């Protein structure tokens, strides 16, 4: 174990020194906030983020933002009809995408530096002058509906959706940002045009750029392309995160070969001083769940726990099991054990090094950095993502133990599978 920790520390130090060579900065370009990180890689990633996510629309319009932003880069833009846009992107190896999540939407472009001028011209046309060609929109909706059906053919994804509906009742998070077949099929080009006008607002958007380009070049391109975009007052919708203090268990019967269970618990805000200690603690919980349920008792195939980074924060632990009652009791025992006994310094140092190594080595492509900075800005400020290594190293054992006990005071369970296997079951009081 000590040898492994030394290796992790060495890796973190080496990669940290490399990443520290460039710093993230923020500036204003014609009223649009820009977050920029220069890298030496000859890849440039640009993402324009739209704030709000599912709070921007009602449940009967589920999927409208996801479809709208997907259409900006597939259904024609300005001087490019859909066919020319697609062929040009393929010719120069430029990758475009647009989608929406619970808290934000985005339009993204990724290209090699050599073709950045061409990529930017297409990107700026897509943002400023989307065509929303009806024939292409029809194809896009068909693809989205088919993709959604495939996504929800997986029981784990069904469980995730049910979990959100059970845990976040009476909040916008019960809305699926990808929509349903019913809501997406009803959308037309006029719907998308009207909706796009409501989110294309300098005060509701920001741009993140990571790659081999200069700040001055970016400033000039953004000013030239987007200076005339509307600028209207914008105040984000304030949501009250549910507080789960009970140990409620909800079930959904499905004829599955195995059973799936998930428990949601409260978590600190992304900007809270308790966020990083809590997240490290949940990483430890995840490892303990795997060791106990999978390795020792063979009760589960893939147990684990994670903190979900959203504006209404939460954590979750989940598993699939043939004997769900034993699995649930096992999950409760592991959670209670880590809360009662706490963690020690050696355990915490190991978790810190795993966390930092994963962050530095597995998330260093321009696209990954761009997404990390953008999500951090949505959740409270891009600086938190930049400060992560320092914040992780500062965490103490006492902070981890305190955070796990303060925030986890109840569980909201969701079960998917054979009802007979769970009939009459009630989880023990928390």
Residue-level pLDDT at 10: 40
Instruction: For 23-226, give the CATH class.
Output: alpha beta
Q: Are 64 and 57 in contact (CB under 8 A)?
A: yes
Secondary structure of residue 43 in the 3-state scheme: strand
Query: In whole angstroms, what is the distance from residue 124 CA to residue 132 CA?
Result: 15
- Report domain extents, the chain: 23-226, 247-421
Task: Kindly tell me if the per-residue pLDDT of 43 is higher than 70.
Answer: yes
Tokens (6 digits) for 253:
């019967």
Query: In whole angstroms, what is the distance from residue 399 CA to residue 396 CA?
Result: 5
Topology given in CATH for the domain delimited by 247-421: Cytochrome Bc1 Complex; Chain A, domain 1 (3.30.830)
Query: In whole angstroms, what is the distance from residue 276 CA to residue 264 CA?
Result: 18
Q: Are 244 and 412 in contact (CB under 8 A)?
A: yes
Global pTM value:
0.92
Secondary structure of residue 273 in the 3-state scheme: coil
Closest by alpha carbon to 334, among 288, 302, 298, 303? Answer: 288
Q: Which residue has the higher pLDDT, 73 or 239?
A: 73
Which strands form 95-100's sheet, in the order they lie side by side? 24-29, 32-38, 205-211, 43-51, 104-112, 95-100
Same fold, 23-226 and 247-421: yes
Residue-level pLDDT at 14: 39
Q: What is the dihedral of CA 44, 133, 58, 307, to 10 degrees?
A: -20
**Residues 347-377: tens digit of each pLDDT:** 999 999 988 888 777 667 899 999 999 999 9
Secondary structure of residue 238 in the 3-state scheme: coil
Residue-level pLDDT at 72: 98
**Residues 299-329: tens digit of each pLDDT:** 777 899 999 999 999 999 999 999 999 999 9
């Amino acid at each position: 174990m000590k040898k492994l920790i030394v290796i992790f520390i060495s890796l973190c130090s080496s990669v940290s020194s490399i990443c520290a060579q460039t710093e993230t900065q923020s500036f204003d370009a014609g009223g649009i906030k820009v977050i920029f990180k220069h890298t030496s890689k000859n890849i440039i990633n640009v993402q324009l983020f739209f704030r709000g996510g599912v709070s921007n629309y009602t449940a009967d319009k589920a999927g409208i933002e996801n479809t709208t932003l997907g259409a900006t880069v597939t259904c024609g833009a300005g001087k490019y009809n859909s066919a020319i846009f697609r062929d040009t992107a393929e010719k120069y190896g430029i990758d475009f995408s647009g989608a929406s999540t619970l808290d934000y939407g985005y339009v993204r472009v990724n290209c090699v530096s050599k073709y950045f001028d061409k990529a930017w011209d297409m990107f700026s046309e897509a943002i400023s002058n989307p065509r929303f060609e009806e024939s292409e929109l029809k194809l896009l909706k068909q693809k989205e509906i088919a993709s959604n059906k495939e996504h929800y053919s997986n029981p784990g994804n069904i469980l995730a959706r049910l979990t959100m509906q059970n845990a976040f009742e009476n909040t916008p998070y019960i809305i699926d940002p990808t929509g349903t077949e019913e809501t997406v099929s009803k959308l037309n080009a006029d719907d998308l045009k009207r909706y796009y006008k409501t989110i294309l607002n300098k005060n509701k958007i920001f741009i993140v750029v990571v790659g081999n380009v200069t700040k001055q070049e970016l400033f000039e391109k953004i000013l030239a392309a987007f200076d005339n975009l509307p600028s209207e007052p914008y105040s984000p919708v304030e949501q009250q995160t549910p507080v789960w203090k009970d140990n409620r268990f909800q079930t959904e019967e499905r004829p599955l070969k195995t059973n799936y269970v998930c428990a949601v618990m409260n978590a600190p805000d992304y900007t809270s001083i308790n966020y990083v200690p809590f997240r490290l603690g949940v990483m430890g919980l995840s490892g303990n769940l795997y060791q106990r349920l999978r390795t020792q008792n063979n009760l589960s195939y893939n147990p684990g726990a994670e903190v979900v980074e959203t504006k209404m924060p939460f954590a979750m632990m989940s598993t699939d099991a043939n004997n769900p009652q034993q699995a649930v009791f096992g999950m409760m025992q592991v959670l209670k054990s880590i809360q009662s006994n706490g963690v020690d310094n050696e355990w915490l140092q190991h978790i810190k090094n795993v966390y930092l190594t994963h962050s530095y080595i597995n998330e260093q492509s321009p696209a990954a950095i761009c997404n990390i900075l953008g999500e951090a800005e949505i959740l409270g400020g891009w600086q938190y993502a930049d400060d992560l290594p320092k914040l992780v190293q500062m965490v103490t054992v006492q902070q981890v133990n305190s955070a796990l006990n303060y925030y986890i005071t109840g569980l909201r369970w969701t079960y998917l599978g054979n009802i007979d296997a769970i009939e009459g079951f009630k989880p023990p009081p928390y």
